[in-house]
A = this chain, B = another copy of it.
């Protein structure tokens, strides 16, 4: 039996995972102290220390843009430079939130391959800044995305090399982990091996794309950067009065490996998509598929054919400008084998179909 054409636009269209919604309900029994003085927040703090195997300052907020912008404001002054990939979410998709929260910092785009920035480009950019002196914003921070905007994943050694380049020039390391679960699941390593053990100072840890209702967090490993974060969060309007309902989501997300199970599922279906496309003519997988995103170059007729059939996804010209059509396909923790296979089948059919003239 056939299923309707599926939605691959984004992992943020998925519903809330059952254990998370259940925890919200559980947190609703009776009154509780507001602004984070509640039981769930206390429990979360101890869970976070276990997950990351060290002291951390763990601050839940409701959106990824808030997490990123608040995190960057902790590590960059208004006259600071934040080095990132040219298609980083902070650079392209947050409507200037980092510039606003830092009070004027500049995002400096680094050349890159497969969505990853590399230590040499950091060193070169910092050297240029130092030569320019007071006229240039002050090198303050390197921000990498894990997983990247192109669905690739940094190995721990790659992060360590970037950290080394950052640290030796006095810069902080920020990681945008909107899809940190997908990266961790892909690598099969521990969260600490991707963060505190390889020099990450501040992590924006996302849960909303992987089953939460509205849970992201600023996770600070370096006490020097944790100073007074509460005031910054409050001033940004990101401290909830009924804070237990943010913390409860995190508690459920991190309990019994739900976060990694969800991510593993999404990753596997992205791999299945990639595997399927690799066998088709005139199809090109543009980047290694290491998380839950697949970028595929395909004939315009196939793209518009899929659209006409009712499949949902975005055309993504930015991933290879000026070189024809590419689309982005995102799987999530609720995607199914049937949905994936339905898309592959439809693509195959369109490729085989005689071109209308």
Contacts and interface: CB of A to CB of B under 8 A. Distances in A.
A245 B214 CA distance: 9
Give this chain's copy count. Answer: 4
A95 B136 contact: yes
Contact of A241 (B28, B63, B106): B63
B95 A235 contact: yes
A13 interface: yes
A242 B32 contact: no
A243 to B, nearest CB: 9
A228 B79 contact: yes
Interface string A1-41: 00000010110111110000100110011111111000000
Which bracket fits the contact residues of A? 35 or more
Contact of A213 (B15, B104, B245): B245
B242 A16 contact: yes
Given A97-B237, A100-B103, A245-B214, A62 B65 contact: no
Interface of A: 7, 9-10, 12-16, 21, 24-25, 28-35, 61-70, 77-80, 92-97, 99-101, 103-107, 128, 132, 134-138, 208-209, 213-214, 228, 230-232, 234-242, 245, 318, 334
Given A15-B32, A16-B245, 4 more contacts: A13-B32, A67-B237, A99-B106, A214-B245
